[in-house]
Structure 1
Amino acid sequence: MLKQKLDLYLQLIRWDRPAGWLLLLWPTLSALWVAAHGFPGWHLVLVFTLGTFLMRSAGCCLNDVADRDFDRHVKRTAQRPVTSGRLSSREALLVGAVLALLAFGLVLTTNIAAIQWSFAALAVTLIYPFAKRYVSMPQAVLGVAFSFGIPMAFAAVQSRVPMLAWVLLFGNLFWVIAYDTEYAMVDRDDDLRIGMKTSAITLGRFDVAAVMLCYLFYLLIWALAPVVPAQSAIYLIAIAVAGLQALWHGWLIRKRERDDCFKAFRLNHWLGFTVFTGIAGSWLVA
Protein backbone atom coordinates (compact mmCIF):
# COMPACT_ATOMS: atom_id res chain seq x y z
CA MET A 1 0.00 0.00 0.00
CA LEU A 2 2.83 2.39 0.84
CA LYS A 3 4.48 1.82 -2.54
CA GLN A 4 1.15 2.32 -4.31
CA LYS A 5 0.59 5.61 -2.47
CA LEU A 6 4.08 6.78 -3.30
CA ASP A 7 3.52 5.96 -6.96
CA LEU A 8 0.31 8.00 -6.93
CA TYR A 9 2.03 10.95 -5.27
CA LEU A 10 4.79 10.84 -7.88
CA GLN A 11 2.19 10.77 -10.65
CA LEU A 12 0.41 13.69 -8.98
CA ILE A 13 3.51 15.90 -9.06
CA ARG A 14 4.48 14.75 -12.60
CA TRP A 15 7.73 13.18 -11.38
CA ASP A 16 8.13 11.39 -14.70
CA ARG A 17 7.66 14.63 -16.67
CA PRO A 18 10.52 16.94 -15.71
CA ALA A 19 9.94 19.31 -18.64
CA GLY A 20 7.41 21.28 -16.58
CA TRP A 21 9.73 22.28 -13.76
CA LEU A 22 12.67 22.77 -16.12
CA LEU A 23 10.61 25.40 -17.95
CA LEU A 24 10.45 27.22 -14.61
CA LEU A 25 14.07 26.58 -13.69
CA TRP A 26 16.02 28.04 -16.64
CA PRO A 27 14.63 31.61 -16.56
CA THR A 28 14.97 31.61 -12.77
CA LEU A 29 18.62 30.56 -12.90
CA SER A 30 19.21 33.03 -15.72
CA ALA A 31 17.86 35.81 -13.49
CA LEU A 32 20.10 34.66 -10.63
CA TRP A 33 23.20 34.92 -12.84
CA VAL A 34 22.13 38.32 -14.20
CA ALA A 35 21.36 39.72 -10.74
CA ALA A 36 24.67 38.45 -9.30
CA HIS A 37 26.72 39.39 -12.40
CA GLY A 38 27.92 35.80 -12.52
CA PHE A 39 27.74 32.71 -10.35
CA PRO A 40 25.43 33.56 -7.40
CA GLY A 41 26.79 30.93 -5.01
CA TRP A 42 25.70 27.37 -4.33
CA HIS A 43 23.27 28.37 -1.59
CA LEU A 44 21.02 30.39 -3.89
CA VAL A 45 21.39 27.91 -6.76
CA LEU A 46 20.20 25.08 -4.50
CA VAL A 47 17.42 27.16 -2.93
CA PHE A 48 15.96 28.20 -6.27
CA THR A 49 16.45 24.82 -7.96
CA LEU A 50 14.73 22.90 -5.16
CA GLY A 51 12.16 25.66 -4.67
CA THR A 52 11.25 25.61 -8.35
CA PHE A 53 10.71 21.86 -8.26
CA LEU A 54 8.65 22.03 -5.06
CA MET A 55 6.42 24.90 -6.19
CA ARG A 56 5.78 23.39 -9.60
CA SER A 57 4.83 20.13 -7.87
CA ALA A 58 2.54 21.98 -5.46
CA GLY A 59 0.95 23.75 -8.42
CA CYS A 60 0.24 20.40 -10.07
CA CYS A 61 -1.60 19.27 -6.93
CA LEU A 62 -3.80 22.36 -6.89
CA ASN A 63 -4.37 22.28 -10.64
CA ASP A 64 -5.51 18.64 -10.59
CA VAL A 65 -8.02 19.34 -7.83
CA ALA A 66 -9.35 22.47 -9.55
CA ASP A 67 -9.67 20.71 -12.93
CA ARG A 68 -10.82 17.27 -11.78
CA ASP A 69 -14.31 17.64 -13.27
CA PHE A 70 -12.90 18.83 -16.59
CA ASP A 71 -9.94 16.46 -16.83
CA ARG A 72 -12.11 13.35 -16.88
CA HIS A 73 -13.43 14.46 -20.28
CA VAL A 74 -9.95 14.92 -21.76
CA LYS A 75 -8.23 11.78 -23.00
CA ARG A 76 -4.73 12.94 -22.01
CA THR A 77 -5.69 13.77 -18.41
CA ALA A 78 -8.48 11.31 -17.60
CA GLN A 79 -6.19 8.94 -15.69
CA ARG A 80 -4.58 11.49 -13.40
CA PRO A 81 -4.75 10.30 -9.76
CA VAL A 82 -7.31 12.85 -8.54
CA THR A 83 -9.42 12.75 -11.71
CA SER A 84 -9.60 8.96 -11.68
CA GLY A 85 -10.49 8.89 -7.97
CA ARG A 86 -7.34 7.06 -6.86
CA LEU A 87 -6.43 10.06 -4.71
CA SER A 88 -8.92 12.28 -2.89
CA SER A 89 -8.95 16.04 -3.40
CA ARG A 90 -8.19 16.53 0.28
CA GLU A 91 -5.14 14.29 0.07
CA ALA A 92 -3.84 16.05 -3.02
CA LEU A 93 -4.27 19.47 -1.40
CA LEU A 94 -2.45 18.25 1.69
CA VAL A 95 0.47 17.05 -0.42
CA GLY A 96 0.50 20.41 -2.24
CA ALA A 97 0.44 22.34 1.05
CA VAL A 98 3.37 20.34 2.44
CA LEU A 99 5.39 20.97 -0.73
CA ALA A 100 4.60 24.69 -0.66
CA LEU A 101 5.64 24.90 3.01
CA LEU A 102 8.92 23.17 2.19
CA ALA A 103 9.51 25.71 -0.57
CA PHE A 104 8.74 28.54 1.84
CA GLY A 105 11.23 27.05 4.27
CA LEU A 106 13.89 27.39 1.59
CA VAL A 107 12.94 31.03 0.97
CA LEU A 108 13.36 31.73 4.69
CA THR A 109 17.08 31.06 4.26
CA THR A 110 17.44 34.03 1.88
CA ASN A 111 16.37 37.56 2.86
CA ILE A 112 13.36 39.70 3.74
CA ALA A 113 12.80 40.95 0.20
CA ALA A 114 12.62 37.43 -1.26
CA ILE A 115 10.32 36.31 1.57
CA GLN A 116 7.94 39.21 0.89
CA TRP A 117 7.83 38.55 -2.86
CA SER A 118 7.18 34.85 -2.24
CA PHE A 119 3.66 35.71 -1.07
CA ALA A 120 2.91 37.39 -4.40
CA ALA A 121 4.30 34.33 -6.20
CA LEU A 122 2.02 32.08 -4.12
CA ALA A 123 -1.01 34.26 -4.91
CA VAL A 124 -0.44 33.96 -8.67
CA THR A 125 0.04 30.18 -8.30
CA LEU A 126 -3.33 29.94 -6.54
CA ILE A 127 -5.11 32.08 -9.13
CA TYR A 128 -3.97 30.33 -12.31
CA PRO A 129 -5.93 27.02 -12.03
CA PHE A 130 -9.18 28.99 -12.01
CA ALA A 131 -8.25 31.45 -14.78
CA LYS A 132 -9.18 28.88 -17.44
CA ARG A 133 -12.84 29.38 -16.54
CA TYR A 134 -12.94 33.15 -16.95
CA VAL A 135 -9.96 34.40 -19.00
CA SER A 136 -9.79 33.86 -22.75
CA MET A 137 -5.97 33.79 -22.59
CA PRO A 138 -5.21 31.92 -19.34
CA GLN A 139 -1.71 31.28 -20.72
CA ALA A 140 -0.93 34.92 -19.89
CA VAL A 141 -1.75 34.24 -16.23
CA LEU A 142 0.44 31.15 -16.36
CA GLY A 143 3.14 33.31 -17.93
CA VAL A 144 3.21 35.51 -14.83
CA ALA A 145 3.24 32.46 -12.52
CA PHE A 146 6.01 30.72 -14.46
CA SER A 147 8.07 33.92 -14.64
CA PHE A 148 7.87 34.97 -11.00
CA GLY A 149 11.12 33.26 -10.16
CA ILE A 150 12.79 36.17 -12.01
CA PRO A 151 11.87 38.99 -9.58
CA MET A 152 12.37 36.62 -6.66
CA ALA A 153 15.89 35.84 -7.87
CA PHE A 154 16.73 39.55 -8.04
CA ALA A 155 15.23 40.08 -4.60
CA ALA A 156 17.32 37.25 -3.15
CA VAL A 157 20.55 38.61 -4.65
CA GLN A 158 20.05 42.39 -4.52
CA SER A 159 17.36 42.77 -1.82
CA ARG A 160 15.31 44.68 -4.39
CA VAL A 161 13.52 44.13 -7.69
CA PRO A 162 14.87 46.55 -10.32
CA MET A 163 13.20 47.44 -13.60
CA LEU A 164 15.39 44.93 -15.42
CA ALA A 165 13.69 42.09 -13.54
CA TRP A 166 10.26 43.21 -14.78
CA VAL A 167 11.55 43.60 -18.34
CA LEU A 168 12.83 40.01 -18.23
CA LEU A 169 9.56 38.82 -16.70
CA PHE A 170 7.65 40.55 -19.49
CA GLY A 171 9.83 38.90 -22.11
CA ASN A 172 9.58 35.49 -20.48
CA LEU A 173 5.81 35.81 -20.41
CA PHE A 174 5.81 35.65 -24.22
CA TRP A 175 7.82 32.43 -24.12
CA VAL A 176 5.33 30.87 -21.69
CA ILE A 177 2.42 31.88 -23.92
CA ALA A 178 4.23 30.30 -26.88
CA TYR A 179 4.89 26.91 -25.35
CA ASP A 180 1.64 26.69 -23.39
CA THR A 181 -0.33 27.51 -26.53
CA GLU A 182 1.43 24.55 -28.14
CA TYR A 183 0.32 22.52 -25.12
CA ALA A 184 -3.25 23.81 -25.47
CA MET A 185 -3.29 22.88 -29.15
CA VAL A 186 -3.00 19.24 -28.08
CA ASP A 187 -6.31 19.37 -26.21
CA ARG A 188 -8.17 21.90 -28.37
CA ASP A 189 -10.96 19.53 -29.46
CA ASP A 190 -11.62 18.32 -25.92
CA ASP A 191 -11.46 21.85 -24.49
CA LEU A 192 -13.97 23.11 -27.04
CA ARG A 193 -16.35 20.30 -26.11
CA ILE A 194 -16.21 20.97 -22.35
CA GLY A 195 -16.15 24.79 -22.59
CA MET A 196 -12.59 25.40 -21.34
CA LYS A 197 -10.91 28.67 -22.33
CA THR A 198 -7.39 28.49 -23.83
CA SER A 199 -5.20 30.60 -26.08
CA ALA A 200 -5.34 27.87 -28.76
CA ILE A 201 -9.11 28.35 -28.95
CA THR A 202 -9.04 32.14 -28.67
CA LEU A 203 -6.40 32.55 -31.39
CA GLY A 204 -8.14 30.14 -33.75
CA ARG A 205 -6.47 29.87 -37.16
CA PHE A 206 -3.83 32.42 -36.08
CA ASP A 207 -2.48 30.12 -33.36
CA VAL A 208 0.73 29.10 -35.15
CA ALA A 209 1.51 32.66 -36.22
CA ALA A 210 0.89 33.91 -32.68
CA VAL A 211 3.19 31.26 -31.22
CA MET A 212 5.99 32.29 -33.57
CA LEU A 213 5.47 35.98 -32.77
CA CYS A 214 5.65 35.20 -29.06
CA TYR A 215 8.94 33.36 -29.57
CA LEU A 216 10.23 36.38 -31.49
CA PHE A 217 9.20 38.89 -28.79
CA TYR A 218 10.73 36.72 -26.06
CA LEU A 219 14.07 36.37 -27.79
CA LEU A 220 14.21 40.03 -28.84
CA ILE A 221 13.49 41.33 -25.35
CA TRP A 222 16.04 39.03 -23.73
CA ALA A 223 18.60 39.75 -26.47
CA LEU A 224 18.27 43.53 -26.11
CA ALA A 225 18.07 43.64 -22.31
CA PRO A 226 21.39 44.33 -20.50
CA VAL A 227 21.75 40.83 -19.06
CA VAL A 228 25.39 40.11 -19.99
CA PRO A 229 28.60 42.11 -20.50
CA ALA A 230 28.31 44.27 -23.61
CA GLN A 231 28.81 42.64 -27.00
CA SER A 232 28.96 39.09 -25.65
CA ALA A 233 29.40 36.81 -28.64
CA ILE A 234 28.55 33.78 -26.51
CA TYR A 235 25.14 35.22 -25.65
CA LEU A 236 24.36 36.26 -29.20
CA ILE A 237 25.21 32.77 -30.42
CA ALA A 238 22.97 31.28 -27.72
CA ILE A 239 20.08 33.55 -28.76
CA ALA A 240 20.60 32.52 -32.40
CA VAL A 241 20.55 28.82 -31.47
CA ALA A 242 17.40 29.39 -29.40
CA GLY A 243 15.87 31.10 -32.44
CA LEU A 244 16.63 28.06 -34.59
CA GLN A 245 14.91 25.87 -32.01
CA ALA A 246 11.87 28.16 -32.12
CA LEU A 247 11.75 27.81 -35.91
CA TRP A 248 11.89 24.04 -35.52
CA HIS A 249 8.96 24.17 -33.10
CA GLY A 250 7.05 26.23 -35.63
CA TRP A 251 7.71 23.54 -38.21
CA LEU A 252 6.46 20.87 -35.81
CA ILE A 253 3.17 22.63 -35.04
CA ARG A 254 2.41 23.87 -38.54
CA LYS A 255 -0.13 21.08 -39.20
CA ARG A 256 -1.57 21.27 -35.65
CA GLU A 257 -1.23 17.53 -35.11
CA ARG A 258 -1.47 16.49 -31.46
CA ASP A 259 1.73 14.49 -31.19
CA ASP A 260 3.83 17.13 -32.91
CA CYS A 261 2.37 19.96 -30.81
CA PHE A 262 3.07 18.01 -27.63
CA LYS A 263 6.60 17.27 -28.82
CA ALA A 264 7.22 20.98 -29.44
CA PHE A 265 5.98 21.77 -25.94
CA ARG A 266 8.14 19.11 -24.28
CA LEU A 267 11.29 20.29 -26.06
CA ASN A 268 10.93 23.92 -25.00
CA HIS A 269 13.06 23.45 -21.90
CA TRP A 270 16.08 23.04 -24.21
CA LEU A 271 15.38 26.50 -25.58
CA GLY A 272 15.40 27.93 -22.06
CA PHE A 273 18.56 25.97 -21.26
CA THR A 274 20.25 27.45 -24.34
CA VAL A 275 19.51 31.01 -23.22
CA PHE A 276 20.75 30.20 -19.71
CA THR A 277 24.02 28.73 -20.97
CA GLY A 278 24.55 31.87 -23.04
CA ILE A 279 24.13 34.05 -19.95
CA ALA A 280 26.22 31.85 -17.64
CA GLY A 281 28.94 31.43 -20.27
CA SER A 282 29.11 35.17 -20.91
CA TRP A 283 29.62 36.00 -17.25
CA LEU A 284 32.13 33.18 -16.87
CA VAL A 285 34.49 34.72 -19.40
CA ALA A 286 33.77 38.36 -18.52
Structure 2
Amino acid sequence: MLKRTFMAACLSAALGLASAVAPTAAHAADYKTNLLEPGTLVVGTTGASPPATMYNDQAELAGYDIDLATQLGKDLGLKVKFVTLGWSTMMAGIQAGRFDIVISSVGRTPDRVKSADFLLSDPYVVNGVAGAKRASDNSIHGWKDVCGKKVGVIKGANEIKAAQAKLPAGCLSDIREYPGWSELLLDLQNGRIDLLVGNYLTPAYMINSAHRPLAMLGDSLQVSTSAVVIRKEEPALQQQINTLIAKYRADGRLEKITDKWVGKSLPWSEVKD
Protein backbone atom coordinates (compact mmCIF):
# COMPACT_ATOMS: atom_id res chain seq x y z
CA MET A 1 0.00 0.00 0.00
CA LEU A 2 2.76 2.42 0.90
CA LYS A 3 4.57 1.64 -2.34
CA ARG A 4 1.42 2.24 -4.43
CA THR A 5 0.76 5.52 -2.61
CA PHE A 6 4.32 6.69 -3.24
CA MET A 7 4.09 5.81 -6.93
CA ALA A 8 0.76 7.62 -7.26
CA ALA A 9 2.24 10.72 -5.66
CA CYS A 10 5.19 10.62 -8.04
CA LEU A 11 2.86 10.27 -11.03
CA SER A 12 0.72 13.15 -9.83
CA ALA A 13 3.80 15.37 -9.40
CA ALA A 14 5.07 14.46 -12.85
CA LEU A 15 1.72 15.29 -14.44
CA GLY A 16 1.66 18.57 -12.57
CA LEU A 17 5.14 19.44 -13.83
CA ALA A 18 4.16 18.54 -17.38
CA SER A 19 1.06 20.72 -17.22
CA ALA A 20 3.17 23.63 -15.93
CA VAL A 21 5.74 23.28 -18.72
CA ALA A 22 3.38 22.51 -21.60
CA PRO A 23 1.67 25.93 -21.88
CA THR A 24 5.05 27.68 -21.95
CA ALA A 25 6.31 25.43 -24.75
CA ALA A 26 3.04 25.84 -26.66
CA HIS A 27 3.16 29.61 -26.26
CA ALA A 28 6.74 29.66 -27.54
CA ALA A 29 5.56 27.91 -30.71
CA ASP A 30 2.56 30.24 -31.15
CA TYR A 31 4.65 32.94 -32.82
CA LYS A 32 4.57 30.94 -36.07
CA THR A 33 0.80 30.52 -36.19
CA ASN A 34 -0.20 34.13 -36.95
CA LEU A 35 2.50 34.97 -39.48
CA LEU A 36 1.28 36.60 -42.68
CA GLU A 37 3.08 33.95 -44.74
CA PRO A 38 3.76 30.48 -43.30
CA GLY A 39 7.40 30.00 -42.29
CA THR A 40 8.29 33.56 -43.31
CA LEU A 41 9.00 36.75 -41.36
CA VAL A 42 7.79 39.64 -43.53
CA VAL A 43 9.85 42.71 -42.62
CA GLY A 44 9.00 46.28 -43.55
CA THR A 45 11.89 48.74 -43.94
CA THR A 46 12.60 51.93 -45.88
CA GLY A 47 16.08 51.20 -47.22
CA ALA A 48 16.66 54.94 -46.88
CA SER A 49 17.98 55.57 -43.38
CA PRO A 50 21.73 54.86 -43.22
CA PRO A 51 23.33 53.13 -41.42
CA ALA A 52 20.19 51.35 -40.17
CA THR A 53 18.62 50.45 -43.50
CA MET A 54 20.02 51.34 -46.92
CA TYR A 55 21.13 49.91 -50.25
CA ASN A 56 24.77 49.01 -50.84
CA ASP A 57 26.75 49.25 -54.09
CA GLN A 58 25.30 45.91 -55.20
CA ALA A 59 21.74 47.28 -54.79
CA GLU A 60 21.21 44.98 -51.79
CA LEU A 61 19.65 45.99 -48.50
CA ALA A 62 22.26 46.54 -45.81
CA GLY A 63 22.68 48.13 -42.40
CA TYR A 64 22.36 47.24 -38.74
CA ASP A 65 18.56 46.94 -38.97
CA ILE A 66 18.95 44.51 -41.85
CA ASP A 67 21.59 42.50 -39.96
CA LEU A 68 19.33 42.34 -36.90
CA ALA A 69 16.27 41.25 -38.91
CA THR A 70 18.33 38.55 -40.62
CA GLN A 71 19.63 37.27 -37.27
CA LEU A 72 16.14 37.28 -35.75
CA GLY A 73 14.79 35.29 -38.69
CA LYS A 74 17.58 32.74 -38.34
CA ASP A 75 17.03 32.24 -34.62
CA LEU A 76 13.24 32.12 -35.03
CA GLY A 77 13.61 29.44 -37.69
CA LEU A 78 11.96 31.62 -40.35
CA LYS A 79 12.79 32.85 -43.82
CA VAL A 80 13.10 36.65 -43.99
CA LYS A 81 11.29 38.60 -46.68
CA PHE A 82 12.03 42.33 -46.85
CA VAL A 83 9.44 44.75 -48.21
CA THR A 84 10.57 48.35 -48.80
CA LEU A 85 8.17 51.22 -48.36
CA GLY A 86 8.41 54.96 -47.78
CA TRP A 87 8.48 56.06 -44.16
CA SER A 88 5.30 58.13 -44.50
CA THR A 89 3.26 54.95 -45.02
CA MET A 90 5.35 52.49 -42.99
CA MET A 91 3.36 52.54 -39.74
CA ALA A 92 0.06 52.46 -41.62
CA GLY A 93 1.43 49.46 -43.50
CA ILE A 94 1.91 47.33 -40.40
CA GLN A 95 -1.54 48.28 -39.14
CA ALA A 96 -2.96 47.17 -42.48
CA GLY A 97 -1.18 43.81 -42.22
CA ARG A 98 1.47 44.30 -44.88
CA PHE A 99 4.31 43.11 -42.61
CA ASP A 100 4.81 41.03 -39.48
CA ILE A 101 7.38 43.52 -38.20
CA VAL A 102 8.95 46.85 -39.09
CA ILE A 103 12.68 47.39 -38.54
CA SER A 104 13.45 50.84 -39.88
CA SER A 105 15.08 53.06 -37.26
CA VAL A 106 11.77 53.46 -35.40
CA GLY A 107 12.19 55.56 -32.25
CA ARG A 108 10.93 53.89 -29.06
CA THR A 109 8.78 56.74 -27.76
CA PRO A 110 6.28 56.62 -24.86
CA ASP A 111 3.36 57.18 -27.25
CA ARG A 112 4.42 54.27 -29.45
CA VAL A 113 4.92 51.99 -26.43
CA LYS A 114 1.32 52.73 -25.33
CA SER A 115 -0.19 52.48 -28.82
CA ALA A 116 -3.09 50.08 -29.36
CA ASP A 117 -2.35 49.92 -33.10
CA PHE A 118 0.83 47.83 -32.90
CA LEU A 119 3.28 46.25 -30.46
CA LEU A 120 6.80 47.47 -29.71
CA SER A 121 9.86 45.46 -28.74
CA ASP A 122 12.42 46.28 -26.11
CA PRO A 123 15.14 48.67 -27.39
CA TYR A 124 17.89 47.24 -29.57
CA VAL A 125 20.09 50.25 -30.36
CA VAL A 126 21.08 53.48 -28.63
CA ASN A 127 20.87 56.78 -30.49
CA GLY A 128 20.73 60.38 -29.34
CA VAL A 129 21.05 64.10 -30.03
CA ALA A 130 24.66 64.47 -31.11
CA GLY A 131 27.12 66.93 -32.59
CA ALA A 132 30.06 66.76 -34.97
CA LYS A 133 32.89 69.18 -35.77
CA ARG A 134 36.05 69.34 -37.87
CA ALA A 135 38.67 67.15 -36.24
CA SER A 136 41.18 70.03 -36.47
CA ASP A 137 38.89 72.56 -34.75
CA ASN A 138 40.42 73.05 -31.31
CA SER A 139 37.84 75.66 -30.32
CA ILE A 140 35.21 72.96 -29.75
CA HIS A 141 35.89 70.20 -27.23
CA GLY A 142 32.32 69.57 -26.09
CA TRP A 143 28.85 71.05 -25.86
CA LYS A 144 30.10 73.75 -23.49
CA ASP A 145 32.00 75.30 -26.42
CA VAL A 146 29.25 75.44 -29.07
CA CYS A 147 27.44 78.69 -28.21
CA GLY A 148 27.68 81.24 -31.03
CA LYS A 149 28.93 78.71 -33.58
CA LYS A 150 27.48 78.32 -37.08
CA VAL A 151 25.31 75.22 -37.02
CA GLY A 152 24.10 72.91 -39.78
CA VAL A 153 21.05 70.64 -39.51
CA ILE A 154 18.95 68.42 -41.74
CA LYS A 155 15.80 70.27 -42.77
CA GLY A 156 12.83 69.10 -40.72
CA ALA A 157 14.88 67.13 -38.17
CA ASN A 158 13.89 67.52 -34.51
CA GLU A 159 17.32 67.22 -32.86
CA ILE A 160 18.08 70.94 -33.07
CA LYS A 161 15.00 71.72 -30.96
CA ALA A 162 16.15 69.26 -28.31
CA ALA A 163 19.64 70.77 -28.35
CA GLN A 164 18.29 74.30 -27.99
CA ALA A 165 16.15 73.18 -25.04
CA LYS A 166 19.17 71.64 -23.30
CA LEU A 167 21.60 74.52 -23.90
CA PRO A 168 21.43 78.14 -22.65
CA ALA A 169 18.82 80.34 -24.30
CA GLY A 170 20.09 81.77 -27.60
CA CYS A 171 23.16 79.52 -27.58
CA LEU A 172 22.44 78.06 -31.02
CA SER A 173 20.94 80.77 -33.20
CA ASP A 174 22.98 80.80 -36.43
CA ILE A 175 21.39 77.73 -38.03
CA ARG A 176 21.52 76.59 -41.65
CA GLU A 177 19.28 73.83 -43.02
CA TYR A 178 20.40 71.20 -45.54
CA PRO A 179 18.38 68.81 -47.72
CA GLY A 180 20.70 65.86 -47.06
CA TRP A 181 23.64 64.55 -45.06
CA SER A 182 26.19 64.71 -47.88
CA GLU A 183 25.74 68.46 -48.36
CA LEU A 184 25.78 69.08 -44.61
CA LEU A 185 28.98 67.10 -44.01
CA LEU A 186 30.72 68.73 -46.98
CA ASP A 187 29.99 72.23 -45.67
CA LEU A 188 31.23 71.23 -42.21
CA GLN A 189 34.39 69.79 -43.70
CA ASN A 190 34.99 72.95 -45.78
CA GLY A 191 34.43 75.32 -42.86
CA ARG A 192 31.18 76.91 -43.99
CA ILE A 193 29.65 75.79 -40.70
CA ASP A 194 31.32 74.92 -37.39
CA LEU A 195 28.98 72.32 -35.95
CA LEU A 196 26.56 69.63 -37.11
CA VAL A 197 23.59 68.86 -34.85
CA GLY A 198 21.58 65.71 -35.54
CA ASN A 199 21.18 62.13 -34.45
CA TYR A 200 24.32 60.20 -33.50
CA LEU A 201 24.27 57.10 -35.67
CA THR A 202 23.89 58.56 -39.18
CA PRO A 203 26.75 61.11 -39.12
CA ALA A 204 28.96 58.72 -37.14
CA TYR A 205 28.48 56.13 -39.90
CA MET A 206 29.08 58.62 -42.72
CA ILE A 207 32.20 60.04 -41.08
CA ASN A 208 33.62 56.58 -40.33
CA SER A 209 32.80 54.95 -43.67
CA ALA A 210 34.30 57.75 -45.78
CA HIS A 211 37.20 58.58 -43.42
CA ARG A 212 36.18 62.24 -43.33
CA PRO A 213 38.37 64.63 -41.27
CA LEU A 214 35.49 65.14 -38.85
CA ALA A 215 34.83 64.04 -35.28
CA MET A 216 31.74 63.39 -33.20
CA LEU A 217 31.45 65.22 -29.91
CA GLY A 218 32.16 62.89 -27.03
CA ASP A 219 28.71 62.81 -25.47
CA SER A 220 25.06 63.09 -26.47
CA LEU A 221 22.69 65.75 -25.18
CA GLN A 222 19.71 63.42 -25.11
CA VAL A 223 19.50 59.66 -25.46
CA SER A 224 16.95 57.77 -27.54
CA THR A 225 16.50 54.15 -28.59
CA SER A 226 15.01 52.24 -31.51
CA ALA A 227 12.64 49.28 -31.37
CA VAL A 228 11.08 46.63 -33.58
CA VAL A 229 7.41 47.27 -34.42
CA ILE A 230 5.27 44.13 -34.38
CA ARG A 231 1.79 43.57 -35.78
CA LYS A 232 -0.68 43.76 -32.88
CA GLU A 233 -2.08 40.32 -33.74
CA GLU A 234 1.30 38.70 -32.96
CA PRO A 235 2.03 39.11 -29.21
CA ALA A 236 3.80 35.73 -29.09
CA LEU A 237 6.21 37.02 -31.75
CA GLN A 238 6.83 40.11 -29.63
CA GLN A 239 7.72 37.87 -26.68
CA GLN A 240 10.16 35.83 -28.75
CA ILE A 241 11.80 38.92 -30.24
CA ASN A 242 12.24 40.45 -26.77
CA THR A 243 13.84 37.22 -25.55
CA LEU A 244 16.31 37.27 -28.44
CA ILE A 245 17.09 40.99 -28.04
CA ALA A 246 17.91 40.36 -24.36
CA LYS A 247 20.17 37.48 -25.42
CA TYR A 248 21.94 39.58 -28.08
CA ARG A 249 22.45 42.42 -25.63
CA ALA A 250 23.91 40.07 -22.99
CA ASP A 251 26.31 38.28 -25.35
CA GLY A 252 27.48 41.49 -27.05
CA ARG A 253 25.87 40.80 -30.41
CA LEU A 254 23.84 44.03 -30.46
CA GLU A 255 26.95 46.10 -29.83
CA LYS A 256 28.87 44.14 -32.47
CA ILE A 257 26.17 44.68 -35.10
CA THR A 258 26.00 48.42 -34.43
CA ASP A 259 29.77 48.93 -34.20
CA LYS A 260 30.16 47.21 -37.58
CA TRP A 261 28.26 50.08 -39.21
CA VAL A 262 29.03 53.03 -36.94
CA GLY A 263 32.59 52.49 -35.74
CA LYS A 264 31.62 53.01 -32.12
CA SER A 265 28.06 53.01 -30.85
CA LEU A 266 26.72 54.90 -27.86
CA PRO A 267 26.90 52.89 -24.62
CA TRP A 268 23.84 51.24 -23.10
CA SER A 269 24.78 52.90 -19.80
CA GLU A 270 23.33 56.13 -21.21
CA VAL A 271 19.86 54.56 -21.42
CA LYS A 272 17.94 55.43 -18.25
CA ASP A 273 14.94 53.12 -18.67
**Structure label with greater radius of gyration:** 2
TM-score by length of 2: 0.26
Q: Which is richer in helix?
A: 1
Higher relative contact order (CA 8 A, sep 6+): 2
Q: Which is richer in strand?
A: 2
